[in-house]
Structure 1
Amino acid sequence: MKGRTIALDHTNGREAAALMVNGKLDDLLVDAQDVPRPGAIFRGICDRPIKGQGGMMLRLPEGEAAFLRQGKGLKPGQAVLVQVTGYADEGKAVPVTDRVLFKSRYAIVTPGKPGLNVSRQISDDVVRDRILEAAHKVHDGSHGIILRSSCAEVPGEEIADDIVAMTDLAHAVLADAKGTEPEVLTEGDGPHLLAWREWTDAADVVTEQGCFESLGVLDQLERLSGALVPLSDGSMYVEPTRALVTVDVNTGNDTSPAAALKANLAASRALPRALRLRGLGGQIAVDFVSISKAHRKQVEQSLRAAFKADPIETSLVGWTQMGLFELQRKRERLPLKGLL
Structure 2
Amino acid sequence: MKGRTVILDHWKDRETAALVVDGVLEDLLIESDQPRPGTIYRATADRPVKGQGGMFLKTPDGSAFLRQVRGLAPGQSVVVQVTGFAEPGKALPVTQKILFKSRYAIVTPGAPGYNISRAIRDDDERDRLLGIAHDVMDESGDGLILRSSCSGASEDDIAQDIEAMAALAQRIRTDDSDGMETLLEGDGPHVQAWREWTGPADISTVDGGLADHGVLEAIDALRTPRVALEAGAFMFVEATRALVAVDVNTGKDISLAAGLKANLACARDLPRALRLRGLGGQIVLDLAPMPKKDRRTFETALRQAFRRDDTETALAGWTPLGNYELQRKRARLPLVEVLG
Tell me the TM-score normalised to structure 2 length: 0.95
The alignment-based identity, stated in percent, is 58
1:57 corresponds to 2:56: yes
* Deviation at residue 311 of structure 1 after TM alignment: 1.4
- Structure 1 match to 2:16: 16
Show the counterpart of 1:229: 227
Corresponding residue of 2:308: 309
Show structure 1 runs of 4+ deviating over 6 A: none
Q: Is the 8 A contact 1:45 1:180 kept in 2?
A: no
SS at match of 1:138: helix
CA deviation string 1:304-330 (max 9, x = no partner): 111111111112222222222222222
Could you tell me how far 1:79 is from its partner in structure 2? 1.6
What is residue 324 of structure 1 aligned with on the other side? 323
SS at match of 1:137: helix
Which piece of structure 1 moves more, 48-57 or 245-254?
Answer: 48-57
Distance 1:313 1:181 in 2: 34
Task: Indicate if the aligned counterparts of 1:109 and 1:167 stay in contact, CA closer than 8 A.
Answer: yes
Which residue pairs with 2:333 in the alignment?
334
What is aligned with 2:278?
279
The AA in structure 2 aligned to 1:25 is L
CA deviations on 1:207-252 (whole Å, 9 max, x unpaired) are 0011111111111111111111011141100111222211100111
CA distance in 1, matches of 2:308, 2:72: 37
Partners of 1:17 and 1:29 within 8 A in 2: yes
Q: Where does 1:94-173 land on structure 2 (aligned, <5 Å)? A: 94-142=92-140, 143-173=142-172
Cα distance per residue 1:99-146 (max 9 Å; x no partner): 110000011000011112211111111212222222222113321111
Residue segments in structure 2 that go unaligned for 5+ positions in a row: none
2:81 aligns with 83
Amino acid at match of 2:188: G
User: Which position in structure 2 is the counterpart of 1:256?
Assistant: 255
Residue 179 of structure 1 deviates from its aligned partner by 5.2
Letter in 2 for 1:65: S
Distance across 2 between alignment mates of 1:93 and 1:294: 45
Q: Quick check: 1:115–1:141 contact (8 Å CA) kept in 2?
A: no
Q: Which amino acid aligns with 1:128?
A: R
| 1:156-203 superposed Cα distances (whole Å, 9 cap, x missing partner) | 011111111000000111122x55522111110000000000000111
Alignment TM-score, normalising by the size of structure 1: 0.95
How much does 1:297 deviate? 2.3
**Deviation (angstroms), 1:72:** 2.6
Structure 2 counterpart SS, 1:133: helix
- 2:186 maps to what in 1? 188
CA distance in 2, matches of 1:47, 1:35: 21
Cα distance in 1 between the residues matched to 2:139 and 2:338:
42
- Kindly report the root-mean-square deviation, in angstroms, between the aligned alpha carbons of the 2 structures: 1.4
**Given the alignment, which residue of 217, 220, 240 partners 2:218?**
220
Residue identity in the other structure for 1:20: V
Q: Which amino acid aligns with 1:17?
A: A
Structure 2 CA distance for aligned equivalents of residues 316 and 2 of structure 1: 32
Q: Is the 8 A contact 1:43 1:81 kept in 2?
A: yes
d(CA) in 2 for partners of 1:43, 1:5: 38
Question: Alignment length, in residue pairs?
Answer: 337
User: Post-superposition shift, 1:45?
Assistant: 1.5
- The one-letter amino acid of 1:146's match is I
SS at match of 2:136: coil
Alpha-carbon deviation of 1:298?
2.0
CA contact (8 A) 1:111 1:170 kept: yes
